[in-house]
Structure 1
Amino acid sequence: MKKLMGISFILLMTAGALAGCNTISGAGQDVEEGGQAVQDAAS
């Protein structure tokens, strides 16, 4: 039973880490696009 709980915990932590990476990546792209829009408007 403890082994199953340990494996479940590891899988949940891995899924959370991957979701977090995708979220940060998406936020970085949004900031980059916003900066590009400001740069285009300024020129």
Structure 2
Amino acid sequence: MVAARTIELRGRLNYLTTCLKGVVYQTGLLITLSLGTTAR
């Protein structure tokens, strides 16, 4: 029971970190794009 719960929690953490990385990546892209357009 405990092992299964730990695996489940670990999976959720992995999922959350992946989602966060994606959001950060997209935000970074948007920022660089907006900065690039304003720089011109």
TM-score over 0.5 for the alignment? yes
SS in 2 for 1:12: helix
Superimposed CA distance per residue, residues 1-43 of structure 1 (whole angstroms, 9 cap, x where no aligned partner):
xxx0000000000000000000011000011000001110011
**Higher Cα Rg, which structure:** 1
Corresponding residue number in structure 2 for 1:21: 18
Query: Which consecutive unaligned segments of at least 5 residues does structure 1 have?
Result: none
* Residue correspondences, number: 40
Report the Cα distance in structure 1 between the residues aligned to 2:36 and 2:12, rounded to whole angstroms. Answer: 36
CA RMSD of aligned residues (A): 0.5
Give TM-score, length-normalised by structure 2: 0.94
Q: What corresponds to 1:31 in structure 2?
A: 28
1:9 and 2:6 correspond: yes
